A and B are shown apart, each in its own frame.
Chain A
């Protein structure tokens, strides 16, 4: 079955530490996205990528970084510059960006130690 795999499911970050969230898809989709979800809120876009080796900032990119070296993979790094990183992080993909996110992973819950 095709889908999106996010890991780990739970992650804890110490002060001053960078952490990387993994996202892998086997759907052969060109577009990939990272969203942040806070309780009682809609999803907010952190970064998106329309194609390999290209990515663009979303609405809340400060304190985050991404890479897109392979079509299947779109890892997100939460840097120490992100002062309020506690949230549920969701990776998504679509055939192309015009259709909007078609598949989501099951998320990574990041907390501060």
Chain B
């Protein structure tokens, strides 16, 4: 089946720093989705990517659908304490729209 590697597993940064995380797949994807989850809550969809090479922003967040269609990147600029949470990538390929989730990146921001 499809495998998806998300890295890093965790990050500890200072407020104001930029953050970058990525996901790589063993197979080609048609869709990449990025979510943020806070403790005790459901994930919130941050950015959806549906085309190779696509670069999309949502405020201080920017995500890219890799040209190879096997990877995606999420960048957060000028981090703030409320950026704390677990960020998940998810991707799907093929006509069955089967979505595979990464294991998440835990982000901690020190004020």
Chain A residues with a Cβ under 8 A of chain B: 4, 6, 40-45, 90, 92, 97-107
Q: A99-B48, A104-B44 are in contact. Are A42 and B103 (CB under 8 A)?
A: yes
Assess whether B92 is in contact with A100, with CB atoms less than 8 Å apart. Answer: yes
Q: Does B65 contact A (CB under 8 A)?
A: no
Assess whether B45 is in contact with A43, with CB atoms less than 8 Å apart. Answer: no
Proximity bits, B10-42, A CB within 8 Å = 1, else 0: 000000000000000000000101010000111
Assess whether B90 is in contact with A100, with CB atoms less than 8 Å apart. Answer: yes
Chain B residues with a Cβ under 8 A of chain A: 4, 6, 31, 33, 35, 40-45, 48, 88, 90, 92, 97-104
Assess whether B43 is in contact with A90, with CB atoms less than 8 Å apart. Answer: yes
B45: which of A6, A98, A102 is its contact (CB, 8 Å)?
Answer: A102
Taken together as a complex, chains A and B put the C-alpha atoms of A43 and B103 apart, in Å, by 8
Assess whether A40 is in contact with B41, with CB atoms less than 8 Å apart. Answer: no
Assess whether B42 is in contact with A100, with CB atoms less than 8 Å apart. Answer: no
Taken together as a complex, chains A and B put the C-alpha atoms of A98 and B92 apart, in Å, by 9
Q: How far is the CB of A109 from chain B (nearest CB, A)?
A: 8
Taken together as a complex, chains A and B put the C-alpha atoms of A98 and B43 apart, in Å, by 18
Taken together as a complex, chains A and B put the C-alpha atoms of A2 and B111 apart, in Å, by 33
Assess whether A100 is in contact with B31, with CB atoms less than 8 Å apart. Answer: yes
